[in-house]
Amino acid sequence: MLQITNLHANVGDKSILKGLTLSLNEGEIHAIMGPNGAGKSTLGYVLSGRPGYEVTEGSVWFTPPVLPGEGRGPLGPINLLDLEPHERAAAGLFLGFQYPVEIPGVSNVQFLREALNAQRKNRGEAPLSGAEFLKVAREQAGALGMDMDMLKRPVNVGFSGGEKKRNEMVQMGIINPALAILDETDSGLDIDALRIVGDGINRIMRKPDKAVLLITHYQRLLDYVKPDFVHVLADGRITRTGGAELALELERNGYKELAA
């Protein structure tokens, strides 16, 4: 689904990614771990097309699944770096933020209905009516333990850290992406919220036609979202890859011995 080859990227004059190579297949969950400043968030921003992150070398090819009756995406791979951020989202990419932004004056319901109908238009599907959308929103909010009244409030305004992350999982469930890039989704979560968010990721994304790139500092989220692969990212490159046991090793010993 996603093939990153020899990716180099700068922020201003500073080189952050320095030859990163990574492959994700459909049905897989990959965890990226590493020390501060290694390039983990930069990778997520580069993949999503955030302005200010300049790719100087390498390639990123994305092949969305084509599901019978849905018409999602083209049959062949897409050069992700040629697309604008909204085009990447329409192709099936979702970025979960480490610090979800607040959008005063825009209700969650309004924001999510517009986003979902834009996705449906890209797939050649009819837009959902207000009643149809509210049914979908109630199902997703209920599964994450979120009151529908919160979805009527402005996006993330006045939400606690845990509520913002839970709201982001509701967004992901409604939009139903092919590939989710989750940047430190566990940041700021207590034990109960961590379990709820982990269960949400599994329910929404652990499917044969989807994939997840889970960026995290800590092993604790991986107790709930079992990764197929764990990668150590250090100094802009993948320096080691293993299974879930690698996360436990990092928790015990830190990054120093594995980062080189």
Give tens-digit pLDDT for 31-47.
999 888 889 999 999 99
Residue 134 lies in a domain: yes
Contact call for residues 22 and 238 (beta carbons, < 8 A): yes
Residue 194 lies in a domain: yes
pLDDT of residue 258: 61
> How many structural domains is the chain composed of?
1
pLDDT of residue 259: 53
Residue 259 lies in a domain: no
> Residue 251: which pLDDT band, with cuts at 50, 70 and 90?
confident
Residue 260 lies in a domain: no
CA–CA gap between residue 31 and residue 242 (Å, rounded): 10
Residue 258 lies in a domain: no
In this model, does residue 17 exceed pLDDT 80? yes
Instruction: Please state the rounded mean pLDDT for residues 1-14.
Output: 95
Look at residues 2, 19, 56, 31 and name the one whose alpha carbon lies nearest to residue 248: 31
The single-letter code of the amino acid at 110 is Q
Residue 100 lies in a domain: yes
Q: Using the 8-state DSSP alphabet, how is residue 148 labeled?
A: H
Look at residues 161, 23, 142, 150 and name the one whose alpha carbon lies nearest to residue 99: 161
Range of the domain at 8: 2-253
Residue 141 lies in a domain: yes
Residue 196 lies in a domain: yes
CB atoms within 10 A of CB 193: 18
Q: What is the pTM of this model?
A: 0.89
pLDDT of residue 65: 79
Look at residues 143, 151, 159 and name the one whose alpha carbon lies nearest to residue 100: 159
Domain of 137, CATH number, reads 3.40.50.300
> Residue 201: which pLDDT band, with cuts at 50, 70 and 90?
very high
> Residue 68: which pLDDT band, with cuts at 50, 70 and 90?
very low
In this model, does residue 203 exceed pLDDT 80? yes
Instruction: Please state the rounded mean pLDDT for residues 197-210.
Output: 92
